[in-house]
């Protein structure tokens, strides 16, 4: 097998036996997870099961107590300073709760990243903002403030911002929570388009079955500080663990 064959390709994201506790509360207990390049992986689990804690490790917003975290060929849990910043810029992160800056327009929310981290001039940045907003199906909303957008529009605007620096990997923390089914569908379909049109690797936290169905990724179910089932949605739904029956409604 040649070294460049897909089967040997290093994963985009890899957690190796990651443990994390806050005081007496063990949130992750030797959790391992690999996301192949171009794959969509879904992390599901009950509220407080550690989904957000897990995803924060990918960009080292949290440091593991033990274990390793890799982004492609970089071991990020031992990185510091400029090297860590560079990895973080290559990973887009849609935070739980969106987190657009309310005092800036949608366009300014995106432009400040382009200004800081690219060499585009003002006209180039304007064109890039329009292109990003068109891609998330929000054309001509650059001058609106976040408060003037619907919940689904806010998620899509935040996604446009997360994509501004052309990340190879996208992290989504509850991208569809609180949205109506039409918006759930719109945001979920964007995750599919990221994979199909741009080859972007996504790690998506969700407890939304519609989102899981539409995005169709590999599901990893987190419970009691461990991944208790992995596979496609139907396989995980049918897995023997009793907590899965409760979660998926029997």
Ligand X SMILES: Nc1ncnc2c1ncn2[C@@H]1O[C@H](COP(=O)(O)OP(=O)(O)OP(=O)(O)O)[C@@H](O)[C@H]1O
Residues that bind ligand X (CB under 6 A): 22, 25, 27, 45, 47-53, 96
10 Å CB burial of residue 6 (0-12, 13-18, 19+) is exposed
Residues contacting residue 12 through CB under 8 Å, at least 6 positions apart: 35, 36, 37, 38, 39, 71, 72, 168, 169, 201
Name the residue with the smallest CB distance to ligand X.
52
- Candidates 69, 70, 90, 230; CA nearest to 171 is 90
Nearer CB in complex with ligand X: 111/174: 174
The values of phi and psi at residue 80, to 5°, are -140, 165
Nearer to Mg ion, 54 or 114 (CB): 54
* 173 class by beta-carbon count within 10 Å (0-12 exposed, 13-18 middle, 19+ buried): buried
Name the residue nearer to ligand X (CB basis): 38 or 46. 46
Smallest gap from Cβ 162 to ligand X, in A, equals 18
Question: Least separation, in Å, of the C-beta of 44 and Mg ion?
Answer: 11
Of the pair 96, 118, the CB lying nearest Mg ion is at: 96
| Residue 52 binds Mg ion (CB under 5 A) | yes
CB of residue 218 to ligand X, shortest distance in Å: 18
Residue 22 contacts which entry, ligand X, Mg ion, none (Cβ below 5-8 A, type-dependent): ligand X
The pair of three-digit structure tokens given for residue 59, joined into one six-digit string: 């960009």
Scanning 48-56, 68-76, 153-161, 175-183 for contacts with Mg ion by CB under 5 A, the matching segment is 48-56
């Amino acid at each position: 097998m040649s070294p460049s064959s897909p089967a040997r390709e290093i994963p985009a994201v890899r957690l190796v036996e990651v443990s994390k506790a806050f005081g007496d509360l063990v949130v992750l207990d030797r959790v391992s997870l690999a996301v192949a390049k171009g794959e969509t992986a879904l992390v599901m689990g009950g509220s407080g099961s550690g989904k957000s804690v897990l995803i924060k490790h990918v960009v080292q917003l949290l440091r593991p107590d033990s274990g390793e975290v890799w982004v492609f060929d970089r071991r990020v849990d031992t990185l510091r300073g400029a090297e860590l910043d560079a990895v973080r810029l290559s990973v887009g992160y849609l935070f739980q709760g969106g987190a657009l800056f309310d005092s800036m327009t949608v366009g300014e929310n995106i432009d400040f990243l382009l200004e800081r981290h690219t060499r585009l001039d003002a006209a180039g940045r304007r064109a890039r903002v329009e292109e990003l907003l068109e891609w998330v199906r929000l054309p001509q909303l650059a001058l609106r403030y976040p408060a003037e957008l619907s919940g689904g529009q806010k998620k899509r605007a935040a996604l446009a911002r997360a994509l501004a620096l052309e990340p190879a990997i996208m992290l989504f923390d509850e991208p569809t929570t609180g949205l109506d089914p039409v918006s759930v569908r719109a945001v979920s379909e964007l995750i599919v388009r990221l994979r199909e049109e741009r080859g972007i690797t996504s790690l998506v936290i969700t407890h939304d079955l519609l989102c899981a169905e539409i995005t169709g990724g590999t599901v990893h179910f987190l419970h009691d500080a461990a991944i208790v089932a992995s596979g496609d949605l139907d396989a995980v739904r049918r897995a023997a663990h009793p907590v899965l029956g409760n979660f998926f409604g029997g």
